[in-house]
Structure 1
Amino acid sequence: MLSERVRSYVSLALIVGLVYGGVQLLQGRHKDQQAQALRAAAKPGDIVMLSSQTCPYCERAREWMSEQQVPFKECMIETDAACLAEFQARGGLGTPTMVVRGRTVVGFDPKRVAEILSLPRAAVPG
């Protein structure tokens, strides 16, 4: 009876592991698709990231966009007065603040950035 119980637990653990692995695989593919969409749509000058030197989210966004070869320009609000003025003019809600073809996206949201880049240029203000 004990060995049946052990087999049941092992079977359950195996099923949970397979499901978890499948979910991770699907999420990885989705992230790859997002990166591919951004690479295809982004041109130099389309994305400006208003950053702070002490912002861990900025660091993650910078690393992700660099690794995925998405063209972007970064502007540090502590060292560049024009960058700080832009940040404040856009509400200064937090960093990173992404300026995507003139539209403000607070935080790093690859899906939202890709959505904006997929719009016809005439539909995007700025």
Structure 2
Amino acid sequence: MAVSIYTTPSCSFCVKAKQWMRENRITFKEHDVSRDQRKADEMVRKSGQMGVPVLDVHGKVIVGFDRDKIERALKR
């Protein structure tokens, strides 16, 4: 899986990011960090952040829903 997204159910930007990726036919694996402490720890290790969403696109970590950064990372 080339794209992972770390989310919580109450995060509106997480919902927008997932919707945008579905609309653009980007396959992703979702990790709900509110329910999976191991994935929460992994997210913090990768990003240095506690906030969501955090995306890992081909190894490039993107904090927040930034379409331009996501598109650039997908083109690698």
Bin for the TM-score computed over the shorter chain: 0.7 to 0.9
Task: Specify every segment of 5 or more residues in structure 1 that has no aligned partner in the other structure, as ranges.
Answer: 1-44, 120-126
- Establish whether residue 54 from structure 1 lines up as the match of residue 5 from structure 2: no
Structure 1 segment 35-46 matched on structure 2, within 5 A = 45-46=1-2
Residues 57 and 96, structure 1, Cα contact 8 Å, conserved in 2: yes
SS at structure 1 position matched to 2:40: helix
Q: Which has the higher helix share?
A: 1
Computing the radius of gyration from Cα coordinates, the structure with the larger value is 1
CA RMSD in angstroms comes to 1.3
SS of 2:6's equivalent in the other structure is: strand
Please say if residues 48 and 72 of structure 1, whose CA atoms lie closer than 8 Å, have aligned partners that are also in contact.
Answer: yes
Q: 1:83 pairs with 33, 39, 43, which one?
A: 39
Query: Does the 8 Å contact 1:48/1:98 carry over to 2?
Result: yes
CA distance in 2, matches of 1:118, 1:62: 18
Q: Confirm or deny: 8 A CA contact 1:93 1:106 kept in the other structure.
A: no
TM-score by length of 2: 0.85
Q: Does 1:63 align with 2:19?
A: yes
- Give 2:73's aligned residue: 116
Change (3 A) 1:70 1:56: same
Question: Residues 62-121 of structure 1: CA distance to partner in whole angstroms, max 9, x if unpaired?
Answer: 1121122211111010111221111121212421001111121001112211212222xx
CA distance in 1 between counterparts of 2:38 and 2:55 reads 15
**Percent identity between the two aligned chains:** 28
Alpha-carbon distance between aligned partners in 2 of 1:114 and 1:50, rounded to the nearest angstrom? 18
Paired residues, what number? 75
Cα distance between partner residues in 1 of 2:8 and 2:59 = 20
Structure 2: runs of 5+ lacking an equivalent: none
